[in-house]
A and B are shown apart, each in its own frame.
Chain A
Amino acid sequence: MSPLFQFDDIVGGYGEVEVVRGVSGQIEPGRVVGVTGRNGVGKSTLLKLLFGSLPLIGGAVRFRGRDLKGTSPAQRSRDGISFCPQERIVFDNLGVWENLSLMQSRAAVEDFAVFFEVFPRLRERLRQHAGTLSGGERKMLSFMRTMSEGKTLALLDEPTEGVQQENIDHMTDLVLQARHDQRSFVIVEQNIHFLENVADYLIVMDQGRIVLEGPAVTIKRADIIAHLGV
């Protein structure tokens, strides 16, 4: 029985520039893989390659055992993969509510109650343009959008960047809850605390390659910081 999601020897980047130079991994249902590393080591690029926003130069991505070669991001989303990018994370020219209900036109505000409980500010700003939100609020909005899609697998790029600690804690709870519901995540993060709290498995990247990986419990923080810090 093949894993839910699997990527082998991924190579790719922008144009001829290889940013990711051969990264492999896999993930089972109800598991969370954390990817970390310094800025510019190719973490975001990796996610984009996995989701198909960037073309693969080498390697293969499989979802539920099926090779995703040639399927558009839109198709992957329909097949059950959520993507929460790091840049241009919300539709600035749409309202908060439009951002949330864009693909679920039948949805009612109540359906998002569980999120609004922890992110009340967004409820207050339902009609406001997402472009006018603060960086942190946008992060929460895009996180909320991704989680509410309820897809089998979600790829999150720096969800906690610029988010206050208390909200990061809420995010942690939500991810853990979803994991408990057998949903899986690949989370790119620099916030080690967050990763330590949610991830079963950690990958540390540098220069586009994996320099350290293993079950979260087995990896010591000091080792990570050695790769991460200044």
Chain B
Amino acid sequence: MAYFLAFSAALVALVLAIPAVLGLYWTFQLSLTFLYAIVAIGIGICWGQGGFLPLGQGMFLGLGAYMSGLILVNYSGSAIIWLLLPAAAIVPAVLAWGIGLAVFRGRTESGPFFALITLALTLLAFQIANTWNDVTGGFNGLRNIPDLPGMDGYDARYYFAAGALVAALGLAAWLINAPLGVVWRALAQNERRIVFFGYSTTHLKATAFAVAGFLAGFAGLLYAPQQNLVTPTLSGFLISADLVIWTAVGGRRSVIGPPVGAILIGVLTTELRDRVTVWEVIVSLVFILVVLYLPNGLVGMLAPLQRRLAALAARRPKPVEAPPPAHGGLAAPALGVDGCHLSVGDVHILDGLSLALEAPSIYCLIGPNGAGKTSTFNTITGELKSQSGDIRFDGVALGALPPERIAKLGIGRKFQIPSVFTELSVRDNIHVALWGTRARFLDLLKPSLRRWQTPVLAQLRQRYPFLENDAEMAGNLSHGERQILELAMSLVAEPRLLLLDEPCAGMSAEDSQIVIDTIHWARQTLGLTVVVIEHDMALVREIADHIFVMHQGSLLAQGDVASIQADTRVRDVYVGITV
């Protein structure tokens, strides 16, 4: 954070100096490039943070510009424009948000199809702008747009654009460093995972897209009075593609990357296009090379420096005590799974499964491969919906709820393969889990959340010192450490029911022991109910208060360790005699 402020300050100084130093020509050049840079920042937020690619930002840029242009043409000179103009940025934002909600709903993947949708939409936008003569002025565009009051003359235009760019950078820097940004990056890495921490990926992605729409519309708002002309090309596909190219070349992941790309290529192009005949070839080659070898763009080459700065910024500031989870984190309520059926095609995954978890204690779920153990977890957490039967937690029927809602009720899970966010720091990983059950969506905008601390976290840090190296990238952790980190993540969420899928898979005996102790500890201090899928019977004997044995999608037997070991049917299914 600190270095972003310093950075911004330096930026402002530089920006203010330019007109005096470089003269009118550059002042004008940069005014336009700055607006493009603002749009690029938005693309960076969607693509570099949220992990989905908008290929049609021209649509929002154009919308903003036409709205602003029409407002200025019709109401110039009256103060009402100050009321109307904001709409030129807000309407695109709302539109983008709506599109985002519609497209992302019920989809935990944001593959290239979203990109193609935005592409098609911007083609539509261009045709509308080009043919709706009465409103848009058609091909020749909306002409003779008056200046904004106080925005006449190149210098003024420049300062408006520069101010806007700095503001946009500030906004982006703030969002990217706010909890929201952390969650965006987590989402980009493993969309499926964060759902189970209680996040609605639809809203997260729609919000990112809305921000991008806002920035594009905002740039359009200023474009109209700056150029005094708005033409359909502005909402076309080519400009949209160029904006993506600039973002990629500059570096989509960082705050300054996209604007750097936009300004750099923008300036170089106006300078060289008319002198170097093969200019377009050079640009496309550079672009291809960047895509191939510099996924983080030109700015990415400064990564080492940035990391050092980030490390400085990463020393833990004064912690803030986090509120308790939304669900109150009370002692574990009962979970009842009653006669659940789940089949895909004519494969019966769950076949009338019924489980009852009354008293808070440690349950083990065992059974041969394909018995439906993991599917049971997926059904309880709402990832799979059972076709019949009923699942109740704390009296609430989970059947209809989406996974994130179920997670917020206090059901946490840990996956078999550790799925920590490898490109996030240890601390961010923990925080993503911490916020999930505690923060309301808007809270994610408060930087203070990044200083959250809870007693549970403190104790976990004592148990596992490696959780203290906040800045360490989770990707650099060993397999065992990742397992423990993910366990810690599911614990700091302070769930009331914790589902662990083979918590010790692939761990050394020593590490396994540590995990077992932690489970016991959590069980006592948090008073939660734990369900463990486990194959290692030694481990089961050690932790299980109660064992469920599953076979072919239904409950075969249950009881304490001794009774299960005595049960011949259980032995038979393990040895392979079908009963």
* Docked CA distance A186–B245 (Å): 53
**B535 touching A194 by the CB < 8 A rule?**
no
* Docked CA distance A164–B506 (Å): 31
* Docked CA distance A190–B575 (Å): 6
Main SS at interface, chain B: loop
User: How many residues of A are counted as interface, with CB atoms below 8 angstroms from the partner's CB atoms?
Assistant: 31
Write the nearest CB–CB distance from A56 to chain B, whole angstroms.
17
Within 8 A of B (CB), among A138-169: 158, 160-162, 164-165
* B537 in the interface (beta carbon within 8 A): yes
* Docked CA distance A134–B505 (Å): 28
* A192 in the interface (beta carbon within 8 A): yes
Q: Residue on A with the closest CB to B483?
A: A17
**B576 touching A194 by the CB < 8 A rule?**
yes
With beta carbons under 8 angstroms apart, the residue of A134, A158, A161, A165 that contacts B346 is: A134
**A40 touching B535 by the CB < 8 A rule?**
yes
Q: Residue on B with the closest CB to A190?
A: B576
* Docked CA distance A161–B540 (Å): 23
Surface stretch bound by A, among B57-65, B84-92, B213-221, B364-372: B364-372
Beyond A17-B506, A19-B506, A190-B368, whether A229 also contacts B574 by CB under 8 A is yes
**A17 touching B479 by the CB < 8 A rule?**
yes
**B571 touching A132 by the CB < 8 A rule?**
no
* Docked CA distance A190–B502 (Å): 19
**A191 touching B570 by the CB < 8 A rule?**
no
With beta carbons under 8 angstroms apart, the residue of A16, A134, A189, A230 that contacts B564 is: A230
Write the nearest CB–CB distance from A146 to chain B, whole angstroms.
18
Chain B 551-579 interface mask (CB, 8 Å, partner A; 1/0)? 01000000000001100001100111110
Chain A 162-205 interface mask (CB, 8 Å, partner B; 1/0)? 10110000000000000000000000011111100000000000
**A39 touching B578 by the CB < 8 A rule?**
no
Chain A 115-150 interface mask (CB, 8 Å, partner B; 1/0)? 000000000000000011111000000000000000
Q: Residue on A with the closest CB to B568?
A: A229
Chain B 141-166 interface mask (CB, 8 Å, partner A; 1/0)? 00000000000000000000000000
With beta carbons under 8 angstroms apart, the residue of A40, A135, A160 that contacts B536 is: A40
Write the nearest CB–CB distance from B480 to chain A, whole angstroms.
9
Beyond A16-B479, A161-B370, whether A134 also contacts B571 by CB under 8 A is no
Q: Residue on A with the closest CB to B535?
A: A39
* B304 in the interface (beta carbon within 8 A): no
B: residues with CB less than 8 A from A are 345-348, 366, 368-370, 478-479, 502, 505-506, 535-537, 540, 552, 564-565, 570-571, 574-578
